[in-house]
Amino acid sequence: MRPRRFVIVGGGIGGLCAARAVALAGHEAVVLERSPSGATLGAGLLLWPNAVRALDALGLGAPLRAIAAPARRGTFRDSTGRTLSSVDLDAIGSRAGAPMLVVERPALHEILAEGLTVRYDAAVSAVDQQGVILADGERVQGDAVIGADGIGSVVREHVCPGARPIDSGHTVIRGIAAHDIGAGDTFEAWGRGEIVGGAALPGARSYWFYEARSEHVDGRDPLAAVGAERWPAPMPAQLAATPPENVLVNRILRLGPLPAWTRGTVALLGDAAHAMEPNLGQGAAQSIEDADALLLALRADGDLAGALAAYAAARRRRAQMFQRESSRFARLALSTHTGPRNLTMRMTPEAVRRRVMERLLRRHAPRPGA
Ligand SMILES: Cc1cc2nc3c(=O)[nH]c(=O)nc-3n(C[C@H](O)[C@H](O)[C@H](O)COP(=O)(O)OP(=O)(O)OC[C@H]3O[C@@H](n4cnc5c(N)ncnc54)[C@H](O)[C@@H]3O)c2cc1C
């Protein structure tokens, strides 16, 4: 395929990875991002081995490992601190051919944006087959448009008019603590309809989250809503070591399966195509896998619309599987029937849990020669 110009709407994880894929395939990519700078929210992000493998394929393996901490072992507890189950993440990583890593989002954005052309303060308000129109009326022409503009995507309106996000009814509070929880540790503690969790970050820091029904959080001071005294270690120490200005509060929105991801030379990618509940930690991973699949599709022979259709065909079933599984896991974790849920968790052998996770991770889009 001769070199083409791609307009990429959105400079989040999905958009930046897509731009890198487009550039690696020998095309020009311009990223349009509505926010005034590349600064992103300071939260932690878990990158499962499938995400790390896809970032490796995009040529980002070395810079990624330089900013990441490994996640070696996950522990699930009840709200009193009793262990329900644990997972050997090192073993999963060895079998998957890449480690599980934890990063701070701003550091990840920095390595993803390195060397790319990103126009900030460029909010897209309309899309057609020739490019996009910005909020100030400027037209930006392109041979193809990639809509990586997140859950509230403008591009999705062109591809799937009327597809609206669904409010999960839950809200997440997140923070980064100047507190060492032990290198390699990740944890969750499950209460009645509410959960906390976190992971060790590089530099003896850690991140944490709390999720509950939105009505429990709305209108309250976020740290008071979490309630440090109600949770086992390390949450109380993490909350005490978190500057309140670092605390983020987000309502959790998701998408149902979309009937199409492409229309001609316009394609959706990342949360714009498959926003899911965060409980499996796969939203960003699936956006990165999208970019990896886009790279493969653009390297194959054929026309532009055909390549975008091939990308969508390679990705839709798998991303939709993660949308379903994420909702299922969210229902289990946030259940109010704690007795049966905790018993199920305690009785499931680690080997079974590990096999389930490996099955989820194995269905990675095949690479030629892999
Ligand atoms: C609480 C929480 C925890 C999570 N934890 C994990 C995790 O541990 N691991 C994981 O893999 N995933 C996780 N996720 C999911 C992950 O954050 C998302 O799936 C991922 O960030 C999606 O990236 P994206 O680039 O597709 O969308 P976004 O990050 O939403 O980026 C979209 C970008 O487009 C820009 N934009 C929007 N509209 C326009 C427009 N009209 N014009 C120009 N620019 C526009 C936005 O400003 C934004 O920068 C979590 C999500 C949440 C809510």
Domain of 272: which CATH number? 3.50.50.60
143 falls within a domain: yes
Task: Please indicate whether residue 271, judged by its CB atom, sits closer than 6 Å to ligand 1.
Answer: yes
Pair 249, 171: CB distance under 8 Å: yes
Q: What per-residue confidence (pLDDT) applies to 363?
A: 54
Nearest atom within ligand 1 for CA of residue 276: 19
Nearest atom within ligand 1 for CA of residue 287: 26
Q: How confident is the model at residue 370 (pLDDT cuts 50, 70, 90)?
A: very low
205 falls within a domain: no
High-pLDDT (> 70) share of the chain, %: 98
Q: What per-residue confidence (pLDDT) applies to 40?
A: 73
More confident residue, 287 or 38: 287
123 falls within a domain: yes
157 falls within a domain: yes
DSSP character at residue 256: P
Main-chain phi, psi angles of 268, to 5 degrees: -100, 150
52 falls within a domain: yes
DSSP-assigned states of every residue in 288-335: HHHHHHHHHHHHSSS-HHHHHHHHHHHHHHHHHHHHHHHHHHHHHHT-
Three-state SS at 1: coil
User: Whose C-alpha lies nearest to ligand 1, atom 20?
Assistant: 284
User: Whose C-alpha lies nearest to ligand 1, atom 2?
Assistant: 278
Q: Which two tokens stand for residue 72?
A: 């070696």
Q: Which residues of 308-331 are buried (b: 16+ CB within 10 A; e: fewer)?
A: bbbbbebbbebbbbbbebbbebbe
Say yes or no to pLDDT of 38 above 80: no
Say yes or no to pLDDT of 369 above 70: no
Task: Please indicate whether residue 11, judged by its CB atom, sits closer than 6 Å to ligand 1.
Answer: yes
User: Whose C-alpha lies nearest to ligand 1, atom 11?
Assistant: 284
Instruction: Give residue-wise pLDDT tens across range 204-245.
Output: 999 999 999 999 999 999 999 999 999 999 999 999 999 988
Instruction: Give residue-wise pLDDT tens across range 94-153.
Output: 988 999 999 999 999 999 999 999 999 999 999 999 999 999 999 999 999 999 999 999
Task: Please indicate whether residue 172, judged by its CB atom, sits closer than 6 Å to ligand 1.
Answer: yes
Distance between CA atoms of residues 19 and 266, nearest Å: 14
User: Whose C-alpha lies nearest to ligand 1, atom 41?
Assistant: 124
Task: Please indicate whether residue 49, judged by its CB atom, sits closer than 6 Å to ligand 1.
Answer: no
200 falls within a domain: no
Instruction: Give residue-wise pLDDT tens across range 321-339.
Output: 999 999 999 999 999 999 9
- Cα within 13 Å of Cα(314), Cβ side: 24
Say yes or no to pLDDT of 341 above 80: yes
228 falls within a domain: no
Task: Please indicate whether residue 123, judged by its CB atom, sits closer than 6 Å to ligand 1.
Answer: yes
What's the CA-to-centroid distance between 347 and ligand 1, angstroms? 35
High-pLDDT (> 90) share of the chain, %: 89
Mean pLDDT of the chain: 94
User: Within the chain, where are the H helices?
Assistant: 13-24, 49-57, 61-67, 89-96, 105-113, 155-159, 214-217, 222-226, 235-240, 271-274, 283-299, 304-333, 338-347, 350-362
- Whole-model pTM over 0.85: yes
Q: What per-residue confidence (pLDDT) applies to 125?
A: 98
Instruction: Give residue-wise pLDDT tens across range 175-188.
Output: 999 999 999 999 99
Say yes or no to pLDDT of 60 above 50: yes
275 falls within a domain: yes
What total number of domains does the chain contain?
Answer: 1
Say yes or no to pLDDT of 365 above 70: no
Q: Of 210, 213, 211, 209, which is closest to residue 169 (Cα–Cα)?
A: 213
Distance between CA atoms of residues 177 and 200, nearest Å: 10
Say yes or no to pLDDT of 93 above 60: yes
Pairing between strand 185-190 and 194-201?
Answer: antiparallel
Give the chain's radius of gyration (CA, Å): 20
Q: Of 249, 282, 247, 288, which is closest to residue 12 (Cα–Cα)?
A: 288
Parent domain of 323: 5-167+253-362
Q: What per-residue confidence (pLDDT) applies to 367?
A: 54
